[in-house]
Structure 1
């Protein structure tokens, strides 16, 4: 394996572990000889990609990495990254794409991009609100909170759920637990009749805000094979943004493809 590939794997490991790493850590996690790991880490430190703690002898991201990250975050906000991924989803699927934010107990549309295929396209413009429990987008957003936070947000409106939306707090908690495992959620004609949705979410650690990304399509078109395929596409879009902004959930996420 090349030195460049090893360096890539070291940085990925640091992002996953979210702590300083030693030669022993890297060798064990990546299955590489300590001698090879030691050379790679030393070279990365020499060129500014890593810094080494003089006491613990562990490595952390160096000044070059931190500076590049700072300039990237300063010029590219979370919403703009999600809008780019929404555009990609629309191009790939043909269906309308959305970016939302969790605002209290509601999902708020920030950005909508109209799809390109089919006579029926969902149209929910920016500024539209909906109870978070009542759609895939809202539940994906809620899933990024812990259950105690969610229970403080939801109220008697949960009883107004339609379609397959959770109707009790117990059902909602179970649904959110599944979303946290899968990384995405699906809805079928719940808040908007005959319209389905597939969504995922990211957490911006700098602001504490939770943002969602997803697509909307005619509910009858959500067959098993298309639902799974689109679910993975939406999840991958969220994961790309999550990893770029340092979202711990996506840095640690391991997809169960079974």
Structure 2
């Protein structure tokens, strides 16, 4: 393996572990000889990609990497990155795409991009609100909170939920546990009759704000194979943004190959 490929894998490992790494860490995780790892880490430190703690002798991202990261974060906001991914999803699927934000116990539409396929195109423009438990977008957002916070935000209206939406707090928590593993959520004709959704969420680590990304499609078209295929696409869109902005959930996520 080339030195450049080794350096890439070292940086990915640091991002995944979210801590400083030693020669032993890298050798064990990547399955490389310690001598090769030592040379790679030393070279990366020499050129500013890494720096070494003088006390622990462990390596962390260096000044060059941090400068590039700061520049990226300053020039590419979370919402703009999500809007780009929505455009890609709409182009790939033909369905209407959305970016939402969690506002208290509600999902609030920030951005909508109309789809190009089929007679039915969902139309819930920016500013539209819905109870977070009543849609795929809202539940993807709620899944990023701990259960106690979810319970604080959910009102008694959940008992009157439509379609496949959870009808109790207990049922909601069970669905959110699955979303946290899968990385995406779906809905069938819940808040908007006849319309299904597939969504995922990211957290801006600088502000703690939760954002959702997803597509809407006719409920009649959401077969299991369609849900799985588009679910992976939406999840991967959130994964790309999450990794770029340093969202801890997506940096740790290991389900993308399943």
Structure 1 length normalisation: TM-score?
A: 0.99
Partner of 2:38: 38
Report how far residue 99 of structure 1 moved: 0.2
Partner of 2:130: 130
Partner of 1:147: 147
Matched, 1:99 2:99: yes
Partner of 1:197: 197
Query: After the TM superposition, which residues 1-258 of structure 1 pair with which residues of structure 2 at under 5 Å, given as runs?
Result: 1-255=1-255
Report how far residue 157 of structure 1 moved: 1.3
CA distance in 2, matches of 1:188, 1:156: 21
CA distance in 1, matches of 2:10, 2:29: 10
Report how far residue 256 of structure 1 moved: 6.6
Deviations 1:106-141 (A, max 9, x none): 000000000011111011100000000000000000
CA distance in 2, matches of 1:46, 1:221: 55
Structure 2 SS opposite 1:79: helix
Report how far residue 23 of structure 1 moved: 0.3
CA distance in 1, matches of 2:257, 2:187: 20
Report how far residue 225 of structure 1 moved: 1.0
Report how far residue 46 of structure 1 moved: 0.6
Distance of aligned partners of 1:257 and 1:51 in 2 relative to their CA distance in 1, 3 Å threshold: closer
Structure 2 length normalisation: TM-score?
A: 0.99
Deviations 1:208-249 (A, max 9, x none): 100000000000000111110000000000000000011111
Structure 2 SS opposite 1:164: coil
Aligned length, in residue pairs: 258
Deviations 1:178-213 (A, max 9, x none): 000000000000000000000000011111100000
CA distance in 1, matches of 2:39, 2:15: 20
Deviations 1:52-89 (A, max 9, x none): 00111000000000000001101111000000000000
CA distance in 1, matches of 2:123, 2:228: 23
Report how far residue 94 of structure 1 moved: 0.5
RMSD between superposed Cα atoms in Å: 0.8
CA distance in 2, matches of 1:226, 1:173: 25
**What runs of 5+ residues in structure 2 fail to find an aligned partner?**
none
Deviations 1:8-56 (A, max 9, x none): 0000000000000000000000000000000000010011000000111
CA distance in 2, matches of 1:180, 1:45: 36
Distance of aligned partners of 1:4 and 1:246 in 2 relative to their CA distance in 1, 3 Å threshold: same
Structure 2 SS opposite 1:199: strand
